[in-house]
Amino acid sequence: MVESDPFKTQRDGGADIVTELLSAGFTDAEEIGRGGFGQVFRCTQPAVDRTVAVKVLSGELDENRARFFR
């Protein structure tokens, strides 16, 4: 797997999700939901001046990654 995988949607194990969202350009991240597939955060996206929802998939889905490329 290439280190800079453009299809990577899962967070790295142990990394702080809020910090990752900040580095991706989102601000005011607040968890608003959690389920079997991951966590959902309400964030502000300053680049377009709007509130967005960001879903961060859990690492447990990694084994199902191949199905998205079929």
Q: Cα separation of 7 and 44, whole Å?
A: 22
CB 25 within 8 A of CB 44: no
Q: What is the pLDDT of residue 16?
A: 85
pLDDT in tens, 38-62: 899 999 999 999 999 999 988 766 6
Element (H, E) at 17: helix 17-23
Give yes or no for residue 2 having a pLDDT over 60.
Answer: no
What mean pLDDT, rounded, does the chain reach? 79
Cross-strand bridge partners of residue 19? none
Q: What is the mean pLDDT of residues 8-27?
A: 75
* pTM (predicted TM-score): 0.65
Judge whether 55 is annotated as a binding position.
Answer: yes
pLDDT at 15 over 50: no
d(CA 7, CA 26): 19
User: 7 by DSSP, 3-state: which?
Assistant: coil
Encoded amino acid at 46, one letter = P
